[in-house]
Amino acid sequence: MALTCAADVGQTVSLPRPAFPGFEQFAALAGLRVRPYSVPGDDEPPIVAEDCAAIMICTPHKPTGRLTPYREPPDGHACWRIWDISHTSLFGPDADGFRSCLAATDILICSLSKLLRLPGARLGCLIVPAPELRAAVLAAKTHLLMSASRLSQILALTVLRDPDTARELDERQRHLTGLRELLQSAVQTSTRMTVVPAGGGTHLLVHARTDEDPWRLLKDAGVVGLPGTVFNAETPSVRLCAAQTAAIVDIAATRIRTL
């Protein structure tokens, strides 16, 4: 929705790489030209070329878990910035920068399916300060997808307004952070693997320290992840996911340390 309403057919959009493959797939279906930028980069929003109509910034980034804190756009910045914060808790400090203010060229995307860890709750939220872009989204959504039912929207608001929800999500966030950090520490302890430092989310992107195949190294050790090629990674890598039971993550960490 955001890409369709922020860029016209034939225009260029800047998308992260590696990243969730749907970004580039949808851009191609929408007739947009893709100019990838590399992640990880600096902990600042990437610089956008003047001919780009929009840029997608994912924080925490999937699959690396890198954080890009919110920064106001530079003066004269005309490019739309689409912030995908689907893996950020809306109640935590990571979202404070987005909550305080958004520039007129910012678009914020969040997802209840990720926030509540409910894959079946396919209800997302698009926050757009610019009135003209909001009007474009409202006009386009009827033609592009089914709108969520009124009942689903009422249920979502009820859940999000419940004080217990914030406490529950905070507890889940701490739990998932601990599991992610356990895996990250195990990779850093190993002698044959290395990891992109993650600041949030549930994902890690690991590489081999030599020219060995990281996916094969992990598989032989009994640890399964998704190959980085799934996310258009340019160097051999594997995405590990910490959204598992504590027992499974502990076993995986033990096996990774032996590498």
Sequence-distant (6+) residues with CB within 8 A of 89 are 95, 115, 169, 170, 173
Q: Strands 33-38 and 52-58: what pairing?
A: unpaired
Tokens found for residue 48: 């956008």
| 144: confidence class by pLDDT, cuts 50, 70, 90 | low
Rounded alpha-carbon distances, angstroms, from residue 69 to 7, 39, 58, 60, 259: 24, 14, 10, 9, 33
**Do 207 and 236 belong together in one domain?**
yes
**Do 86 and 189 belong together in one domain?**
no
CATH number (domain holding residue 201): 3.90.1150.10
Determine the pLDDT at residue 170: 82
Domain count, the chain: 2
User: Is the pLDDT higher at 186 or at 5?
Assistant: 186
Instruction: Examine the fold and report which residue of 159, 189, 221 is the final residue of a domain before the chain moves on.
Output: 159
**Do 35 and 82 belong together in one domain?**
yes
106-111 sheet: strands from edge to edge: 33-38, 12-17, 52-58, 80-84, 106-111, 124-127
pLDDT at 209 over 90: yes
pTM, two decimal places: 0.86
Sequence-distant (6+) residues with CB within 8 A of 114 are 86, 87
Instruction: Examine the fold and report which residue of 105, 140, 159 is the final residue of a domain before the chain moves on.
Output: 159
Instruction: Classify burial at 257, counting beta carbons within 10 Å of its beta carbon; exposed 0-12, middle 13-18, buried 19 or more.
Output: middle
Mean of the per-residue pLDDT values for the chain?
86
3-state class (DSSP) for residue 37: strand
**Do 154 and 170 belong together in one domain?**
no
**Do 250 and 139 belong together in one domain?**
no
**Do 63 and 151 belong together in one domain?**
yes
**Do 120 and 247 belong together in one domain?**
no
**Do 186 and 146 belong together in one domain?**
no
Residue 63 CA to residue 46 CA, distance in Å, equals 17
CATH number (domain holding residue 76): 3.40.640.10
Closest by Cα among 114, 258, 256 to 195: 256
**Do 30 and 150 belong together in one domain?**
yes
pLDDT at 211 over 80: yes
- Mean predicted confidence (pLDDT) in 150-165: 80
**Do 131 and 155 belong together in one domain?**
yes
**Do 52 and 91 belong together in one domain?**
yes
121: Cα separation from own chain's centroid: 17
pLDDT at 44 over 70: no
Q: Which domain holds residue 119?
A: 2-159
Digit-coded pLDDT (tens) for 85-123: 888 877 667 677 777 778 888 999 888 777 766 666 667
